[in-house]
């Protein structure tokens, strides 16, 4: 089994980005809107702020209390029109689900998390979308990395492969399913209502999981196909230790590749968000010249 070294790969991406950014006098700006005071959101925001500072992307964070939705709406519309702002994200998780109607207020041109229905529609239409969100972009990067290591194109690698996606939210499962379908993979979208998940595991060549629960363990690893590729994007903290959906030891003999937690998709996602902000910045320059 080969491990994806997400930390190392992301450091290389960020270094390259820093060099590119040093050629510009003006810095790109990413606006982060945070609602409530959820601990994971605080952690994610501080990682983004720190990374932005290191590579030369300005990050403005706006914090709101739960229930401040009219203020948040006005702020989003203001940021949409502010030419000095290139990317806008609503930090998830927020308390409750009330954030959903706000997502579509973000201008698709600044939607660097790819969470507007416009960007999702273009993915499923197989059109060029403005942005693919950080996590699906990191997953595509990892799959491409594996294909490159096998000396084949991403499409050749994916064509006809059975891909099991255990997550169906708009951050991960829905965009990644559309992208992989466009590259001729057969896709199955599973979730908490899915019965007999192991039955689906049995025929899967690639498994992408992001549930925050233990999905692959010593108890069910006999249902994995030999040489399966596993991308873990789960996140949970047990007794103070960060872990993913996959018990690493349980897949060592069966998997050909594993993107583990921690150190896989997580750090790559931060790099992808910075990459998207840089692209939004370049697009806005193209428009103004």
Which residues lie near a copy of itself (CB under 8 A)?
Answer: 104, 116-122, 124-125, 127, 159-160, 162, 168, 170, 174, 177-178, 181, 184-191, 193-196, 199-200, 203
> Least Å distance between CB 98 and a copy of itself?
14
> Least Å distance between CB 173 and a copy of itself?
9
Residue among 34 and 119 whose Cβ is closer to a copy of itself: 119
User: Which token pair is 124?
Assistant: 């499923």
> Least Å distance between CB 227 and a copy of itself?
15
> Least Å distance between CB 94 and a copy of itself?
17
Biggest CA-to-CA distance, the chain: 59
> Least Å distance between CB 158 and a copy of itself?
9
Query: 10 Å Cβ neighbour count for 184?
Result: 12
Residue among 128 and 151 whose Cβ is closer to a copy of itself: 128
> Least Å distance between CB 221 and a copy of itself?
20
> Least Å distance between CB 188 and a copy of itself?
4
Residue among 190 and 271 whose Cβ is closer to a copy of itself: 190
Nearest to 207 by CA among 235, 167, 175: 167
Residue among 160 and 240 whose Cβ is closer to a copy of itself: 160
> Least Å distance between CB 199 and a copy of itself?
5
HEC string for the chain: CEECCHHHHHHHHHHHHHHHHCCCCCCCEEEEEEECCCHHHHHHHHHHHHHHHHHCCEEEEEEECCCCHHHHHHHHHHHHHCCCCCEEEECCCCCCCCCHHHHCCCCCCCCCCCCCHHHHHHHHCCCCCCCCCHHHHHHHHHHHHHHHHCCCCHHHHHCCCEEEEECCCCCCHHHHHHHHHHCCCEEEEECCCCCCHHHHHHCCCEEEECCCCCCECCCCHHHCCCCEEEEECCCEEECCEEECCECHHHHCCCEEEEECCCCCHHHHHHHHHHHHHHHHHHHHHHHHC
Rg of the Cα atoms in the chain? 19
Residue among 17 and 90 whose Cβ is closer to a copy of itself: 90
Residue among 140 and 190 whose Cβ is closer to a copy of itself: 190
Residue among 21 and 197 whose Cβ is closer to a copy of itself: 197
Residue among 43 and 152 whose Cβ is closer to a copy of itself: 152
Find residue 60's DSSP bridge partners. 31
């Amino acid at each position: 089994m080969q491990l994806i070294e997400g930390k190392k790969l992301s450091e290389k991406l960020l270094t390259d980005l820093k060099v590119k950014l040093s050629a510009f006098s003006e810095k790109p700006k990413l606006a982060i809107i945070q609602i409530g005071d959820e601990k994971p959101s605080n952690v994610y925001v501080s990682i983004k702020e720190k990374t932005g500072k290191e590579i030369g992307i300005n990050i403005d964070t706006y914090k709101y209390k739960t229930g401040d939705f009219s203020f948040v709406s006005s702020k989003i519309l203001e940021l949409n029109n502010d030419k000095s702002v290139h990317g806008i994200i609503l930090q998830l998780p927020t308390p409750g689900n009330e954030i959903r109607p706000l997502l579509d207020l973000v201008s698709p041109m600044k939607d660097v998390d790819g969470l507007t229905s416009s960007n999702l529609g273009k993915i499923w239409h197989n059109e060029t979308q403005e942005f693919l969100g950080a996590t699906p972009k990191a997953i595509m990067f990892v799959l491409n990395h594996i294909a490159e290591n096998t000396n084949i194109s991403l499409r050749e690698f994916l064509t006809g492969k059975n891909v099991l996606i255990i997550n169906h939210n708009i951050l991960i499962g829905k965009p990644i399913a559309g992208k992989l379908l466009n590259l001729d993979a057969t896709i199955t979208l599973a979730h908490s209502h899915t019965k007999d998940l192991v039955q689906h595991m049995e025929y899967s060549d690639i498994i992408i999981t992001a549930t925050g629960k233990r999905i692959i363990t010593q108890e069910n690893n006999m249902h994995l196909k030999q040489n399966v590729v596993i991308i873990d994007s789960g996140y949970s903290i047990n007794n103070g230790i960060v872990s993913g959906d996959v018990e690493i030891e349980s897949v060592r003999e069966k998997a050909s590749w594993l993107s583990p937690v921690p150190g896989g998709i997580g750090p790559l996602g931060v790099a992808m968000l910075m990459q998207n902000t840089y692209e939004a910045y370049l697009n806005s320059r193209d428009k103004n010249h």
